Amino acid sequence: MQDYDVVILGSGAAGLFAAGEAARRGRRVLVIDHAKAAGEKIRISGGGRCNFTNLNIQPERFLSQNTRFALSALRRFTQHDFISRVNAAKIAWHEKAMGQLFCDGSAKQITQMLLRDLAEGSGEIWLETRIFGVQRCGATYQVDTSRGAVTAVSVIVALGGKSIPKMGATGLGYKIAQQFDIPLVETRPALVPLTFGGAELEALASLSGLSVAGRVTSGQIRFDDGVLFTHRGLSGPAVLQISSYWREGEVILLDLAREQDSGIFLRKLREQNGKIALQTALGRFLPEKLARLVAVQSGLLGNLADQNNAKLDHLAALVHGWNLIPVGSEGYRTAEVTLGGVSTDALDSKNMQVKFCPGLYFIGEVVDVTGWLGGYNFQWAWSSAWAAAQVA
């Protein structure tokens, strides 16, 4: 049986970063994963360029039952700290909208950087290795694997959530938590397209492939960003964001032209050219197919001159307040992250250690901390991993 100081379960963003940081401290480190390659979700992220962090990291942009839990880790290892690591590795990057940072080249550069840090610290990695379980043996832990058992003073669970099973997600991290009587917060897909049924689906599917700069609202939460119509319903950044807040049975409000006051526009256009058809008028600021659908759904007849102010206000209300009730989401198959997970009540926010199990840590997506779209979840991976690796 081989002995290590730190065994890390999972070779994703959080696991690899924790491994490299622990190795920097001179710890004997082993990373174990059933995947064929490390960092697979890093590889596919950001369209293959990895949206590795965001300049606008703020604690309120992370969902958790304890909204203050992430504060300590995010402040101790910030987005600027990770950017410094990227710069030191000579990885070129650029900023996109809303502070999102991407590699100029391949996302694989981030994985290579993390693996290089692990190797320079003489850490090991076992891929294509099944993890059967973890058990506490006095002051140490035993991890049973398909390559035999190993022991370690510290075990860091970085196995991610349930999102994107085809990339290897299994939910094993939650099973390990339950084995140690660590409470879980109910999990659900997040940052995921929403699906519809009946007449709503028929209307939305007729627009499949079309996108607009929209606004999506659920309750008191709203996001201004792209909205994409699909054959199953709605996707795009604004919809993915709202999916983390929406719950079954709730209405979402869709503004199809957030940058246009369509009521004022239509009144002015009526004065200039009242003979124009409603669909044509709407087509001045909406895509043609969408303008046609809104005109039909309004139930209004005639041209622009035939509509009084009340009717134009009704038309504008459809443009800026399309009420829709999703029937669900596309689920873990396409969800970027998993909402919920290991309860933060059981963890020390300073180092991610289980309060009643010294030497056992949970980091990254497996924890009940979920960030917004746009590099937030990667930053949580880096920050939580760093916090654990300083003491494990």
Q: What's the token pair of residue 304?
A: 């622009």
- Residue 366 scores a pLDDT above 90: yes
Q: Tell me: do 166 and 217 sit in the same domain.
A: no
Query: What percent of the chain is modeled with pLDDT above 70?
Result: 100
pLDDT (tens digit, 9 = 90+) per residue, 78-133? 999 999 999 999 999 999 999 999 999 999 999 999 999 999 999 999 999 999 99
332 DSSP 8-state letter: G
> Does 322 share its domain with 236?
yes
Q: Are residues 215 and 185 in the same domain?
A: no
Instruction: Give the mean pLDDT of 43-52.
Output: 96
Query: Cα dihedral sign for 117, 119, 124, 130?
Result: positive
pLDDT at residue 345, as a whole number: 98
The total of structural domains in the chain comes to 2
Tell me: pLDDT of 165 over 90.
no
- The sign one gets for the Cα dihedral 330, 342, 344, 186 is positive
Do 258 and 219 sit in the same domain of this protein?
Answer: yes
Verify that 28 and 170 share a domain, yes or no.
yes
DSSP letters spanning 48-116: GT-EEEETT--GGGEE-SSTTTTHHHHHHS-HHHHHHHHHHTT--EEE-GGGEEEESS-THHHHHHHHH
Query: What are 184-237's pLDDT values in tens digits?
Result: 999 999 999 999 999 999 999 999 999 999 999 999 999 999 999 999 999 999
**Structural domain harbouring 292:** 193-329
Which of 248, 235, 221 lies closest to 60 in space, CA to CA? 221
DSSP 304: G
Given phi > 0 = left and psi -120 to 50 = alpha, else beta, which region is 70? Answer: alpha
SS3 of the chain: helix, strand, coil, percent, to 5: 40, 25, 35
CATH of the domain at 31: 3.50.50.60
CA distances in angstroms from 293 to 30, 248, 274, 323, 361, listed in the order given: 57, 26, 20, 14, 53
Cα 48 to its chain centre, rounded Å, is 15
Residue with tokens 């309120």: 60
Do 269 and 315 reside in the same domain of the chain? yes
| End-of-domain residue from the set 290, 308, 329 | 329
Same-domain pairing of 199 and 171:
no
Please give the mean pLDDT across all residues of the chain: 96
